[in-house]
């Protein structure tokens, strides 16, 4: 039975390297569901698309959309929202797209000695929060977003991903 506030999450695997992690789709589904359950935003009857790509694919996205010609771990692309209120019977509201790069994510998990599924969960939560309006453009916004990430990940039994980072509390 689905939770009434959960968005429909579609996971698209577009890079063969993700075949090394066959549980990735389930991990992402669980992470997005936990995020949706722990925010005040109404995301019922909404859709999220998550693309599992490689460093080359995310580098192209990063270059084309942000003007940064290098790979990154996760990118989020919030969808423009239609004007007016969503009503039952309307087409699902698209929250946006998330792209996650395998090689960068794998390297970070290994360097930080974190289980792969924990880091993947964190990036999925992080990307989802961007889709619903959270950001980390300044210290206050970053602290708010990171606190929410910690709370959501704790619900999943995942330790604080920022615990070993210098300057965090």
Residues in binding site? 126, 130, 136
3-state per-residue secondary structure call for the chain: CCCCCCCEEEEEECCHHHHHCCCHHHHHHHHHHHHHHCCCCCCCCEEEEEEEECHHHHHHHHHHHHCCCCCCCEEEEECCCCCCCCCCCCCCEEEEEEEEEHHHHHHHHHHCCCCHHHHHHHHHHHHHHHHCCCCCCCHHHHHHHHHHHHHHHHHCCCCCCCCCCCCCC
Say if strands 74-78 and 93-101 run parallel, antiparallel, or are unpaired: antiparallel
Binding-site residues for Zn(2+): 126, 130, 136
């Amino acid at each position: 039975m689905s939770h009434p506030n959960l968005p429909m999450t579609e996971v698209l695997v577009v890079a063969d390297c993700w075949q090394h992690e066959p549980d990735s789709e389930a991990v992402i589904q669980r992470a997005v569901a936990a995020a949706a359950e722990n925010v005040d935003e109404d995301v019922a009857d909404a859709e999220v698309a998550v693309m599992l790509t490689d460093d080359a694919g995310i580098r192209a996205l990063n270059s084309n959309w942000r003007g940064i010609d290098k790979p990154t771990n996760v990118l989020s692309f919030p969808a423009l929202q239609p004007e007016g209120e969503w009503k039952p019977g309307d087409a699902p509201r698209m929250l946006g797209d998330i792209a996650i790069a395998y090689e960068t994510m794998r390297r970070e998990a290994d360097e930080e000695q974190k289980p792969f599924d924990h880091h993947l969960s964190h990036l999925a939560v992080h990307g989802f929060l961007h889709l619903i309006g959270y950001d980390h453009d300044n210290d206050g916004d970053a602290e708010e977003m990171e606190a929410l990430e910690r709370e959501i990940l704790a619900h999943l039994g995942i330790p604080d991903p920022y615990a070993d980072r210098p300057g965090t509390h």
